[in-house]
Structure 1
Amino acid sequence: MVDVMDVRRAEERYRGGDPAAGISSLHAFSFGPHYDPDNLRFGAVIACNEEALAPGAGFDEHPHSHTEIVTWVVEGELTHRDSAGHESVVRPGDVQRLSSAGGVRHVERNDGSEPLVFVQMWLAPLEPGGDPSYEIVRGIADSTPYAVPEAGAMLHVRRLTAGERTAVPDAPFVYVHCVRGEVRLDGEELGPGDAARITESKDLEALAGSPAELLLWEMTVG
């Protein structure tokens, strides 16, 4: 049961990036030169970007502030370096979070020989300011929630076999992003890149029609 479910299809995303530089981006919310006053955020989520980087491509050093940045690698390896001295390689199954707080700069690159695809989600913090922090959870277990208390949010990663069901969190706001595969959610079919924005989720399940991977954000505030 849901109060409202707004399904956004992959083909509706705004295309960005720099194809000539080996960067392809798909944005679910207003981002950069694309501004839609009716699509600024849902719950705490202010960006959900699907990024594809060719070998050797990347985003040069750039600043962030007052944003919780959570990254999920779909394929390949992401090299991260930031001005607070953190450097790591993020692989499929890892959850990376950069809390930019009062301000931080970072670099994101594909230093590998294979294509890199990742989903990066930005969340608005409950309070601005503070000191930047960084965390990476290697190989997060299925169904193990990852808390981002600074944004009043919890990430649930679900990897489903065909025919498997999973409960959608009961929460004021739930954002569901289908990374791969196909799932049925409250009568709607979701495929790769599709997303559902759910208000007042209760007793809701997702059913996988094929092997699937879902990112679900459980949020308390909008």
Structure 2
Amino acid sequence: MDVRRAGTRYPGGDASAGISSRHAFSFGPHYDPGNLRFGPLIACNEERLAPGAGFDEHPHSHTEIVTWVVEGELTHRDSAGHATVIRPGDVQHLSAAAGVRHVERNDGAVPLTFVQMWLAPRTPGGTPSYEVIPGIADSTPYALPAAGAMLHVRRLAPGARTALPEAPHVYVHVVRGDVRLRGAHLHPGDAARLTGAGDPGIPEDPIHRETVAETAAELLVWEMA
């Protein structure tokens, strides 16, 4: 298990434009050859947009983009004609495939916070697609077959436990609250990268795959091949 603290994220954005970004992986001018990806996950960005702020139209290609709104509302428009408002509890998935352009803005009156995760597809190219799952239920997995990945949302009451998936790569991002995993205390913005779960050559006590909520908590958990 490799724990990455919120304070070690690479800073980005543009404060004068009302944009604050924190990157978990090598991103833009923050090039780190030792932190390019974890499994198919190549970005986990915490974004904060002031009212009226946003990202003007920009391109993406060969990337599976999943967005989770923490607070506020995210307005999305893309070159394929989709125009939506994403709210807390919704899962937004944009498959950029051979290429798509989109706009992301905070058109609301309150600050917007969201987590955006990029995954590399197993096969590049194809036709872009877009999907929103409104109000996804707790523990309901969202599959990304194109990247060989599955997203699990975990909302925990204080003292509650949840088992992590058994997979070659598991990425745990703490959205809110405090949790304990394998003796490590994780707080908002912290992440844990686990490898080898489910490998018969690496025996493990099941309790080591459990996350315990020390306060009310919300987690995004990626199960990846």
Residues 191-219 of structure 1: per-residue CA shift (max 9 Å, x gap): 00000000012430000000000000000
**Structure 2 partner of 1:18:** 14
Which of these residues, 215, 219, 223, is aligned with residue 218 of structure 1?
223
Residues 48-97 of structure 1: per-residue CA shift (max 9 Å, x gap): 00000000000000000000000000000000000000010000000000
Residues 11-46 of structure 1: per-residue CA shift (max 9 Å, x gap): 000000000000000000011111000000001100
**Structure 2 partner of 1:32:** 28
The code of the aligned residue for 1:68 comes to E
Q: Does 1:132 align with 2:142?
A: no
SS of the residue corresponding to residue 201 of structure 1 reads: coil
Matches of 2:118 and 2:15 in 1, distance apart? 22
Which of these residues, 136, 140, 145, is aligned with residue 144 of structure 1?
140
**Structure 1 partner of 2:203:** none
Q: TM-score, normalised by structure 2?
A: 0.95
Q: Does 1:120 align with 2:120?
A: no
SS of the residue corresponding to residue 219 of structure 2 reads: strand
The code of the aligned residue for 2:31 comes to Y
Question: Alignment length, in residue pairs?
Answer: 216
Residues 121-174 of structure 1: per-residue CA shift (max 9 Å, x gap): 000000000000000000000000000000000000000000000010000000
The code of the aligned residue for 2:78 comes to D
Which of these residues, 81, 85, 99, is aligned with residue 81 of structure 2?
85
**Structure 2 partner of 1:57:** 53
RMSD across aligned positions (CA): 0.5
Identity %: 76
**Structure 1 partner of 2:185:** 189
Matches of 1:154 and 1:186 in 2, distance apart? 22
The code of the aligned residue for 1:15 comes to P
Matches of 2:152 and 2:197 in 1, distance apart? 15
Matches of 2:71 and 2:210 in 1, distance apart? 27
SS of the residue corresponding to residue 171 of structure 1 reads: coil
The code of the aligned residue for 1:70 comes to V
SS of the residue corresponding to residue 159 of structure 1 reads: strand
Matches of 1:207 and 1:89 in 2, distance apart? 33
Matches of 1:34 and 1:82 in 2, distance apart? 27
In terms of fraction of residues, the more strand-rich structure is: 1
Runs of 4+ in 1 over 6 A off after TM superposition: none
Q: Does 1:68 align with 2:73?
A: no
Q: Counterparts of 1:36-51 in structure 2 under 5 Å?
A: 36-51=32-47
How much has 1:111 moved relative to structure 2? 0.2
Which runs of no fewer than 5 residues in structure 1 stay unpaired?
none
Q: TM-score, normalised by structure 1?
A: 0.97
Q: Counterparts of 1:203-214 in structure 2 under 5 Å?
A: 203=206, 204-214=209-219
Which runs of no fewer than 5 residues in structure 2 stay unpaired?
199-205
